Amino acid sequence: MTESAGLDDLVADRRPTGPGTGEEGTPEPGSRPGRLSLRRALRSPQLVGGTVILAGVIAVAILAPWLSPADPLEQNLQNRLLDPQGLGGLGGEAGRAYILGADELGRDLLSRILHGTRLSLLVGVVATGLALLVGGVCGAVAGYVGGWIDSVVMRVMDVLLAMPGVLLAIAIVAALGPSLTNAVIAIAVVRVPVMARVIRGDVLAARELQYVEAARALGIPGPRILFRHILPNAWVPTMVVATLGMGTAIVTEAALSFLGLGAQPPDISWGRMLSVGLGVLRTDPHVTLYPGLAIFIVVLAFNLIGDGLRDVLDVKSVEQRG
């Protein structure tokens, strides 16, 4: 998914698992994922930095109404596209500092950006969660059961993967109608095959582990082995991919909303704010600059965390599979 500057697409496996891909599913010898301990985590500046930024972003999302100088929905057409007033704006009109300027309907840009954090995080978490759930079930079942079920499920995933992500998302939203919910569904669908791939690979790897074979030999039923013994071991690479995927999901939402296919007014979306910016790039670059900067910061946080996790947990396989 090129539109979304996500590291994960390039790192996670996007190649079709054709019947002939010899190396697919072969467990990587000796790559037992490490365990996450606080001590190891603290040694990774990326992980620490990313977590700090993300904590800040979450705080902003929660505290947006109290941090915002003005009501993000209140229009004041006299102040359309007002230039940023800086902190000097604080002395101005009561409640409207216009520190970062105003948007096309004279709404306070800073307040809108702060409130926009909520939608972005929500989309990232819900879309990735959905993808993880659906992709996880598909991938785990395919990997564990194998046989024709594996073939069918993975061929379906190949079909989804064969289409560029943004294009697929646009087509899905067009089919369902433009709305935030449908944008989330579309993003999740695009992410499902990526998740399914990763989890299938990990389940295949874990299945070969000795204690799993032992469990099977003991006659423990399949689903129980899958859920009690295999999945708990497969979660590490998945977590890395899911974290990186949050960033991708957030950028995709921005892209869809930019095209008018995502959030609808009065919902506050950074992507929609950017689409206004293109019309006034010369005179009012602030309308473009700041919402984009907000997207960048959130995506950066997720990328830092994902990257840090990969280092700390030593999930080499995720990178190598690219």
Of the candidate residues 177, 210, 218, 219, the single one contacting another protein (CB under 8 A): 177
Long-range CB pairs of 307-310 (<8 Å, 24+ gap) are 307/7, 307/46, 307/47, 307/50, 307/244, 308/41, 308/44, 308/45, 308/46, 308/47, 308/48, 308/49, 308/50, 309/36, 309/47, 309/239, 309/240, 309/243, 310/240
CB-facing half-sphere around the CA of 193: CA atoms within 13 A? 24
| By CB under 8 A, residue 54 contacts another protein | no
Of the candidate residues 284, 305, 312, 318, the single one contacting another protein (CB under 8 A): 284
Of the candidate residues 60, 307, 312, 315, the single one contacting another protein (CB under 8 A): 307
Comparing CB distances to another protein, the nearer of 31 and 46 is 46
| By CB under 8 A, residue 204 contacts another protein | no
**108 three-class SS:** strand
| By CB under 8 A, residue 43 contacts another protein | no
Read off the amino acid at residue 215.
Answer: A
**Interface residues for another protein in 88-127 (CB under 8 A)?**
104-106
* Bridge partners (DSSP) listed for residue 108: 102
Of the candidate residues 215, 249, 299, 318, the single one contacting another protein (CB under 8 A): 299
Read off the amino acid at residue 204.
Answer: L
C-alpha 114/C-alpha 116 separation (Å) is 5
Of the candidate residues 57, 114, 121, 172, the single one contacting another protein (CB under 8 A): 172
| By CB under 8 A, residue 181 contacts another protein | no
| By CB under 8 A, residue 20 contacts another protein | yes
| By CB under 8 A, residue 322 contacts another protein | yes
Least distance to another protein from the beta carbon of 39, Å?
20
State the first-to-last Cα distance of the chain, in angstroms, to the nearest integer: 14
| By CB under 8 A, residue 274 contacts another protein | yes
Of the candidate residues 268, 303, 305, 315, the single one contacting another protein (CB under 8 A): 303
The helix-helix angle for 270-277 and 286-313 (nearest 10°) equals 140
Least distance to another protein from the beta carbon of 159, Å?
4
Least distance to another protein from the beta carbon of 66, Å?
23
Please choose, out of 85-93, 115-123, 138-146, 272-280, the segment that lies near another protein by the rule CB under 8 A: 272-280
Residues near another protein (CB under 8 A), total? 80
Of the candidate residues 258, 268, 305, 317, the single one contacting another protein (CB under 8 A): 258
Retrieve residue 305's tokens.
Answer: 């965390």
Retrieve residue 132's tokens.
Answer: 């993880």
Read off the amino acid at residue 193.
Answer: P
**Interface residues for another protein in 55-94 (CB under 8 A)?**
75, 77-78, 80-81
What are the residue ranges of helices labelled H in 208-285? 210-217, 222-224, 231-258, 270-277
Dihedral (CA of 263, 266, 268, 273) sign: positive
Of the candidate residues 97, 109, 127, 166, the single one contacting another protein (CB under 8 A): 166
Rg (CA), the chain: 22
Please choose, out of 89-97, 130-138, 226-234, 270-278, the segment that lies near another protein by the rule CB under 8 A: 270-278
Place of tokens 């390039």: 10
Of the candidate residues 22, 29, 91, 147, the single one contacting another protein (CB under 8 A): 22
Read off the amino acid at residue 202.
Answer: D
| Maximum Cα interatomic distance, the chain, rounded to a whole number of Å | 76
- Site map 226..255 versus another protein, x via CB under 8 A: ---------------------x---x--xx
| By CB under 8 A, residue 285 contacts another protein | yes
